[in-house]
């Protein structure tokens, strides 16, 4: 056909049938191609449906999926991601779930076209406002028109923006008690104090008495201290107040007394003034779980002394040094608080962080049986050595007159803290310790004391006799339930001062003596250690189950002298200095 068309010759009689056959072939080929394409599309759709059917996310109930959507809502001042809108553009099921979750749309995004949509989709759910008052997208008229629906308001802005937004409300005329969370951050560009209206959203005494529990967070601004906003709080966060706004101790405790349901207390640079006020008995806050104090050392101590918090979980204190308050007294008031005895702690962790800007001391204690835990952070208040901070904290926590808090401790972690003989003597009162973790801490004193007692228990003595004996006059092992020693970041080439003996040799002798005395230390864990000899590992494996990460092996050979383990241990014991004190009978 192509050749005939090119020659412009009339076709003969056979050409029409040939044309029909060719056109039929073309149509047939096109039909086969379309059928193949349809089959491929159908196969892809079936495969996609199969993958979606086995994907866990498609099996989630709508309630769970909606909860996941809520967890992904950005909780910040500026919402760069309009998350509610994104969820409606993925798949149809997501869109249906998102549209059926009014809580998702209650997180208002200030875009002019979105406000009516979000307001209608939120239905009757209390609105959540995160607003930068200086942002041109922010619409104060929208907030005022829907103030009765606002359940949470977090806003920040300059002095002018705060005054225009808050102070324009007629004081004592607008009554609204549905606001459960108010957070105001003032961008201070001047030095004058910013006071918010005391009766904001409170029109009568009746609304004050019927106030539901609320959360209040103020930074660089404050309500007058007689404001009903300080009543019945569950969270109170005050920071960077002007010096003229700082409350007296009497006023502060009146606020705390008026909030018996308080759970979270945060005071940082609020300029609290001490006026000689003392609480007798202590002000009890039974639900208080977290305390942060960033005041002067004396103010922090006085606040803690006059508070009772049996449910406390975290205490963080960043006290500014004061000359009249000694470090020992300051630490003892924080770590030795009487309410810490309410829980029988099973784990104690005392840490001196190595970072410059970290707290100089962190004490953590928790109990898995009754879900009690305690974390105490003490920031450096003077130029004193950090090691002395750890010693003071340990002495305060292990108060011999109040042994309830530590008798049940089964795990002890020491981080960047090397104890002396007197401090270990205090730890030995915890006879239930089963696991001992030393992180970048010197274990020499510990192994010396444990070896000295283990040798005495199998009949070898050196120096003065001891008084720590049982009813039959037998010598008691120190830490008799100890079955795991974990060393992390320790230099295994460390040596006793005089004579020069690596502490690994002391540990080998200790493991042997405890095994002979039928009180073995069954497990030894070595992580990120340095200068570890193969000979030591072989001896450790003979007396304990050793877990080693393979890091820190020394390439040098260690000379052991070829003695058997008994003679070797006795030689090490003879070379060690005599203990600097005589251990007294242990508690419990």
Last residue of a domain, one of 366, 382, 410: 410
Positive/negative CA dihedral, 317, 320, 325, 326: positive
Residue 518: Cβ within 10 Å count? 9
Q: What range defines the domain where residue 309 resides?
A: 278-410
Is residue 205 within 8 A of residue 177, CB to CB? The reply is no
Alpha-carbon gap, residue 153 to 342, rounded angstroms: 37
- Given the DSSP bridges, would you call strands 233-239 and 264-268 parallel, antiparallel or unpaired? parallel
Q: Which of 196, 185, 231 is nearest to 77 (CA)?
A: 185
Q: Looking at the domain assignment, is residue 329 inside a domain?
A: yes
User: Going by C-beta distance under 8 Å and a sequence separation of 6 or more, which residues neighbour residue 26?
Assistant: none
Instruction: Write the DSSP symbol of residue 474.
Output: P
At 316 the three-state DSSP class reads strand
Please indicate, yes or no, whether residues 425 and 403 belong to a single structural domain of this protein: no
Q: Looking at the domain assignment, is residue 220 inside a domain?
A: no
Question: CA-CA-CA-CA torsion for 157, 161, 162, 163, nearest 10 degrees?
Answer: 160
Last residue of a domain, one of 348, 376, 410: 410
Tell me the HSE value of 541 on the side-chain side, using a 13 A CA sphere. Answer: 8
Instruction: Give the residue carrying structure tokens 């002007």.
Output: 242
Beta bridge partners of 348: 365, 412
Alpha-carbon gap, residue 137 to 130, rounded angstroms: 12
Last residue of a domain, one of 390, 410, 430: 410
Please indicate, yes or no, whether residues 444 and 376 belong to a single structural domain of this protein: no
Q: Which of 303, 269, 302 is nearest to 288 (CA)?
A: 303
Q: Looking at the domain assignment, is residue 551 inside a domain?
A: yes
For residue 263, the model assigns a pLDDT of 95
C-alpha dist (Å) from residue 245 to 192, 221, 269, 271, 278:
10, 8, 11, 8, 21
Please indicate, yes or no, whether residues 509 and 435 belong to a single structural domain of this protein: yes
Positive/negative CA dihedral, 60, 65, 68, 72: positive
User: Going by C-beta distance under 8 Å and a sequence separation of 6 or more, which residues neighbour residue 423?
Assistant: 391, 394, 395
Is residue 207 within 8 A of residue 158, CB to CB? The reply is no
For residue 183, the model assigns a pLDDT of 92
Helix (H) or strand (E) holding 151: strand 150-157
Instruction: Write the DSSP symbol of residue 440.
Output: S
Maximal C-alpha separation, the chain: 132
Structure token digits, residue 155: 């806003």
Q: Looking at the domain assignment, is residue 134 inside a domain?
A: no
Please indicate, yes or no, whether residues 507 and 540 belong to a single structural domain of this protein: yes
For residue 356, the model assigns a pLDDT of 53
Q: Looking at the domain assignment, is residue 236 inside a domain?
A: no
For residue 391, the model assigns a pLDDT of 74
For residue 582, the model assigns a pLDDT of 46
Q: Phi and psi at residue 53, in whole multiples of 5°?
A: -70, -30
For residue 247, the model assigns a pLDDT of 94
Q: Looking at the domain assignment, is residue 454 inside a domain?
A: yes
Please indicate, yes or no, whether residues 376 and 481 belong to a single structural domain of this protein: no
Please indicate, yes or no, whether residues 293 and 397 belong to a single structural domain of this protein: yes
Tell me the HSE value of 8 on the side-chain side, using a 13 A CA sphere. Answer: 0
Tell me the angle at which helices 444-457 and 565-575 cross, rounded to the nearest 10 degrees.
Answer: 120
Q: Which of 331, 279, 330 is nearest to 308 (CA)?
A: 279
- Tens digit of pLDDT at every position of the chain (588 positions): 445 444 455 555 556 666 667 777 777 777 777 888 888 888 888 877 776 665 666 678 888 888 888 887 766 544 545 667 777 887 888 888 888 888 888 877 767 677 788 888 888 888 888 888 888 878 788 887 887 888 888 888 888 888 888 766 554 445 566 788 999 999 876 678 888 888 777 655 554 555 678 899 999 999 999 988 898 999 999 999 999 999 999 999 999 999 999 999 999 999 999 887 777 778 899 999 999 998 888 888 889 888 988 888 888 888 776 765 666 777 777 887 777 766 677 888 887 766 655 557 777 877 765 566 777 777 755 555 566 777 777 777 776 656 666 777 888 888 888 888 888 888 888 888 999 999 988 898 899 999 999 998 998 887 666 666 766 777 889 999 999 999 999 888 755 454 567 788 899 999 999 999 999 999 999 999 988 888 888 889 999 999 999 888 887 777 666 678 888 888 888 888 766 544 454 444
Alpha-carbon gap, residue 213 to 260, rounded angstroms: 10
Question: CA-CA-CA-CA torsion for 469, 470, 476, 480, nearest 10 degrees?
Answer: -150
Q: Let me know if 154 is exposed, middle or buried by CB neighbors in 10 A (0-12, 13-18, 19+).
A: middle
Alpha-carbon gap, residue 313 to 365, rounded angstroms: 9
Q: Let me know if 180 is exposed, middle or buried by CB neighbors in 10 A (0-12, 13-18, 19+).
A: middle
For residue 578, the model assigns a pLDDT of 67
Please indicate, yes or no, whether residues 580 and 467 belong to a single structural domain of this protein: yes
For residue 437, the model assigns a pLDDT of 93
Please indicate, yes or no, whether residues 396 and 422 belong to a single structural domain of this protein: no
Alpha-carbon gap, residue 503 to 495, rounded angstroms: 6
Tell me the HSE value of 303 on the side-chain side, using a 13 A CA sphere. Answer: 31
Please indicate, yes or no, whether residues 445 and 406 belong to a single structural domain of this protein: no
Q: Let me know if 376 is exposed, middle or buried by CB neighbors in 10 A (0-12, 13-18, 19+).
A: buried
User: Going by C-beta distance under 8 Å and a sequence separation of 6 or more, which residues neighbour residue 299?
Assistant: 249, 272, 274, 293, 319
Count of domains for the chain: 3
Instruction: Give the residue carrying structure tokens 């295994």.
Output: 492
For residue 586, the model assigns a pLDDT of 43
Alpha-carbon gap, residue 26 to 468, rounded angstroms: 105
Alpha-carbon gap, residue 206 to 177, rounded angstroms: 11
Prior bond of 281 cis (ω within 30°): yes
Alpha-carbon gap, residue 511 to 454, rounded angstroms: 9
Q: Which of 120, 106, 116, 115 is nearest to 180 (CA)?
A: 106
Q: Looking at the domain assignment, is residue 139 inside a domain?
A: no
C-alpha dist (Å) from residue 144 to 85, 129, 141, 148, 543:
25, 12, 5, 8, 75
Alpha-carbon gap, residue 544 to 519, rounded angstroms: 12
Is residue 367 within 8 A of residue 343, CB to CB? The reply is yes
Please indicate, yes or no, whether residues 368 and 429 belong to a single structural domain of this protein: no
Please indicate, yes or no, whether residues 446 and 556 belong to a single structural domain of this protein: yes
Instruction: Give the residue carrying structure tokens 């379309």.
Output: 34
Is residue 399 within 8 A of residue 423, CB to CB? The reply is no
Question: What is the 3-class SS of 280-314, one letter each residue?
Answer: CCCEECCCCCEEEEECEHHHHHHHHHCEECCCCCE
Q: Which of 152, 103, 111, 147 is nearest to 129 (CA)?
A: 152
For residue 271, the model assigns a pLDDT of 92
Alpha-carbon gap, residue 106 to 146, rounded angstroms: 12
Please indicate, yes or no, whether residues 334 and 440 belong to a single structural domain of this protein: no
Q: Looking at the domain assignment, is residue 290 inside a domain?
A: yes
């Amino acid at each position: 056909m192509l050749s005939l068309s090119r020659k412009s010759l009339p076709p003969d009689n056979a050409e029409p049938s040939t044309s029909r056959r060719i056109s039929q072939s073309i149509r047939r080929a096109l039909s086969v191609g379309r059928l193949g394409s349809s089959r491929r599309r159908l196969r892809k759709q079936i495969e996609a449906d199969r993958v979606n059917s086995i994907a866990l996310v498609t099996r989630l109930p709508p309630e769970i999926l909606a909860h996941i959507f809520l967890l992904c809502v950005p909780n910040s001042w500026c919402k760069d991601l309009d998350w509610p809108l994104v969820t409606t553009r993925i798949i149809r099921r997501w869109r249906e779930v998102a549209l059926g979750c009014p809580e998702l749309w209650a997180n208002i995004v200030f875009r002019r076209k979105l406000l009516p949509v979000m307001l209608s989709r939120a239905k009757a759910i209390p609105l959540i406002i995160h607003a930068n008052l200086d942002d041109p997208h922010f619409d104060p008229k929208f907030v005022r028109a829907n103030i009765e629906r606002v359940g949470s308001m977090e806003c920040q802005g300059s002095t002018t923006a705060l005054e225009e937004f808050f102070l324009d409300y007629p004081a004592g005329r607008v009554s609204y008690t549905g606001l459960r969370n108010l957070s105001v951050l003032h961008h201070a560009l001047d030095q004058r104090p910013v006071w918010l209206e005391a009766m904001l959203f409170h029109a009568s005494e009746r609304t004050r008495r019927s106030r539901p529990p609320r959360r209040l967070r103020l930074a660089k601004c404050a309500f007058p201290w007689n404001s009903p906003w300080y009543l019945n709080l569950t969270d109170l966060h005050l920071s960077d107040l002007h010096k003229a706004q700082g409350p007296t101790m009497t006023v502060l405790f009146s606020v705390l007394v008026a909030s018996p349901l308080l759970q979270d207390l945060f005071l940082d640079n609020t300029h609290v003034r001490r006026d000689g006020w003392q609480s007798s008995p202590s002000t009890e806050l039974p639900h208080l779980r977290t305390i942060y104090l960033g005041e002067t050392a004396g103010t922090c101590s006085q606040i803690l002394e006059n508070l009772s918090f049996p449910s406390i979980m975290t205490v963080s204190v960043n006290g500014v040094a004061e000359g009249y308050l000694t470090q020992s007294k300051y630490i003892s008031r924080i770590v030795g608080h009487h309410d810490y005895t309410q829980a029988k702690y099973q784990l104690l962790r005392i840490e001196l962080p190595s970072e410059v800007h970290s707290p100089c001391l962190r004490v953590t204690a928790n109990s898995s049986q009754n879900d009690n835990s305690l974390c105490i952070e003490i920031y450096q208040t003077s130029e004193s050595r950090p090691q002395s901070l750890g010693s003071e904290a340990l002495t305060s926590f292990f108060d011999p007159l109040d042994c309830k808090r530590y008798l049940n401790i089964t795990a002890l972690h020491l981080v960047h803290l090397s104890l002396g003989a007197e401090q270990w003597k205090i730890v030995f009162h915890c006879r239930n310790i089963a696991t001992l973790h030393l992180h970048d801490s010197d274990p020499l004193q510990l192994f010396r004391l444990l070896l000295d007692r283990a040798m005495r228990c199998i009949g070898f003595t050196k120096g003065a006799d001891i008084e720590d004996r049982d009813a039959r006059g037998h010598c008691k092992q120190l830490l008799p339930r100890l079955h795991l020693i974990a060393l992390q970041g320790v230099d295994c080439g460390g040596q006793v001062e005089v004579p020069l003996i690596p502490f690994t040799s002391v540990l080998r002798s200790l493991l042997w003596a405890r095994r002979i005395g039928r009180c073995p230390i069954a497990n030894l864990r070595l992580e990120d250690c340095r200068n570890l000899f193969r000979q030591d590992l072989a001896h450790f494996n003979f007396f304990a189950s050793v877990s080693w990460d393979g890091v820190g092996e020394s390439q040098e050979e260690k000379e052991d002298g070829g003695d058997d383990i008994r003679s070797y241990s006795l030689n090490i014991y003879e070379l060690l200095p005599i203990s600097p004190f005589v251990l007294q009978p242990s508690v419990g």
